[in-house]
Amino acid sequence: MSAVLNEAASLPKLDFIDLKTQYRALKPSVDARIQKVLDHGQYIMGPEVVELEQQLAAYVGARHCITCASGTEALLISLMALGIGPGDEVITSPFTFVATAEMIVLAGAKPVYVDIDPTTCLIDAALIEAKITSRTKAIMPVSLYGQVCDMASINALAARHGNIAVIEDAAQSFGASYWGGGGSRRKSCNLSTIGCTSFFPSKPLGCYGDGGAMFTNDDALAKIMREVRTHGQERRYYHTRIGVGGRMDTIQCAIVLAKMERFEWEVQQRLALGQIYRQKLGAAELPVSLVQVQADRDSVFAQFTVVVENRAAVQKRMQELGVPTAVHYPISLNRQPAYRDDASAAETVHSHWAGERVMSLPFSPDLTEAQMDRVVAALRDAVTLAA
């Protein structure tokens, strides 16, 4: 065993995302919030659901927040509320988690894929217009790795083509800000027709199971989404539309309420630590590149992602050194067996390129500089060995 491996063996394995330290910091509030739900016993649509919706709407600056069972469910409910179905097309990125295309297909529509900008891994807004047809009913940009897309350009394009709906898939960017297009600073989830986010445990704002939310400034859409979320009912046992069982559990809402107490601190930590990470990697002069954050927005670094060659070898070595890594996403959606689209796969070359090279490093608001130094040292050793 090398000296590097000997030293690594004496160190505790790093967490890819450290939720344990976060819980210890919030334990009194989390435990009290859960106990309150256990005491009142309203496990479905209890008072914490409305309380959380009010807090989240105020945080992003939207008129309405509708919580739901997951970020995936948020996308489906949004599509259903907009009346999108068979014969319709929804433009999106192939470089994302499968839920994005999955919900488009389950709604009965067709996903139309547009390639990414390889410097950001976000949908390339300049390529969207060429894919708009008379069947295009929505554009679903995916705010990836903690950073939102070029929403000003996308919204302007949608408006020019007859007010096409824009649904921001913001599962990874809750808390991020955007001030592009000369506008004032606005939060992710309040940048389009509907914003959808996820409270999956590893997200910037996560619960301890599944949960999600939808945001809109459209009163009529909000009413429809609330009905769709609860089996399409306008009032108890009176069903005005087709719906789903898409409610977020009261206990999960209670957990997110507890986490909201320090969420703005966590956002500021993510912004600061992301810059420190970038500086340390830059100073190390490693043969890796970073996913870029554009000047008109920030990133909450849902994942801190680099681009490397010989990724499998680099990951193997870092694992040996006790430093976990992850890949989001190795195979673009239009190359997946269930969603295969050879014509678009031939066009989305940057998505394929990124899928073979992106690698995310340990990151969370409680990450220390000493831990960052350890990650950078392990990455230096790994890329040197893999060269």
The pLDDT tens digits for 18-55 are 999 999 999 999 999 999 999 999 999 999 999 999 99
Closest CA to 32 of 261, 203, 366, 266: 261
The pLDDT tens digits for 48-81 are 999 999 999 999 999 999 999 999 999 999 999 9
Do 71 and 172 fall within a single domain?
A: yes
- The average confidence (pLDDT) of the chain is 96
Do 246 and 314 fall within a single domain?
A: no
User: Does residue 318 sit within a domain?
Assistant: yes
Do 275 and 350 fall within a single domain?
A: yes
Closest CA to 319 of 286, 279, 284, 359: 359
User: Does residue 310 sit within a domain?
Assistant: yes
Count how many domains the chain has: 2
Q: Kindly provide the b/e burial profile for residues 225-261, where b requires at least 16 CB atoms within 10 angstroms of the residue's own CB.
A: bbbbbbebbeeeeeeeeebbebbbbbbbbbbbbbbbe
Closest CA to 165 of 95, 107, 226, 227: 107
Cβ pair 380, 284 in contact under 8 A:
yes
Give percent of the chain with pLDDT exceeding 70.
97
Do 49 and 187 fall within a single domain?
A: yes
The pLDDT tens digits for 320-347 are 999 999 999 999 999 999 999 999 999 9
Do 151 and 243 fall within a single domain?
A: yes
The pLDDT of 156-184, averaged and rounded, is 96
Q: Does the pLDDT value for residue 366 go beyond 90?
A: yes
The pLDDT of 213-240, averaged and rounded, is 97
Which of residues 260, 294, 314 is at a domain's end? 260
> What's the domain range around 244?
23-260
- What is the reported pTM? 0.96
Do 227 and 251 fall within a single domain?
A: yes
The pLDDT of 219-241, averaged and rounded, is 97
Do 153 and 247 fall within a single domain?
A: yes
User: Does residue 18 sit within a domain?
Assistant: no
CA-based torsion, 251, 257, 260, 262: positive or negative: negative
The CATH number assigned to the domain holding 313 equals 3.90.1150.10
Do 225 and 275 fall within a single domain?
A: no
Do 309 and 375 fall within a single domain?
A: yes
Do 296 and 232 fall within a single domain?
A: no
Cβ pair 298, 344 in contact under 8 A:
no
Q: Does the pLDDT value for residue 9 go beyond 60?
A: no
Q: Kindly provide the b/e burial profile for residues 142-160, where b requires at least 16 CB atoms within 10 angstroms of the residue's own CB.
A: bbbbbbbbbbbbbbebbee
Do 202 and 267 fall within a single domain?
A: no
Q: Does the pLDDT value for residue 287 go beyond 60?
A: yes
Which of residues 260, 283, 311 is at a domain's end? 260
Do 202 and 281 fall within a single domain?
A: no
User: Does residue 80 sit within a domain?
Assistant: yes
The pLDDT of 143-167, averaged and rounded, is 97
The pLDDT of 183-194, averaged and rounded, is 96
User: Does residue 207 sit within a domain?
Assistant: yes
The CATH number assigned to the domain holding 171 equals 3.40.640.10
User: Does residue 233 sit within a domain?
Assistant: yes
Which of residues 228, 260, 292 is at a domain's end? 260
User: Does residue 304 sit within a domain?
Assistant: yes
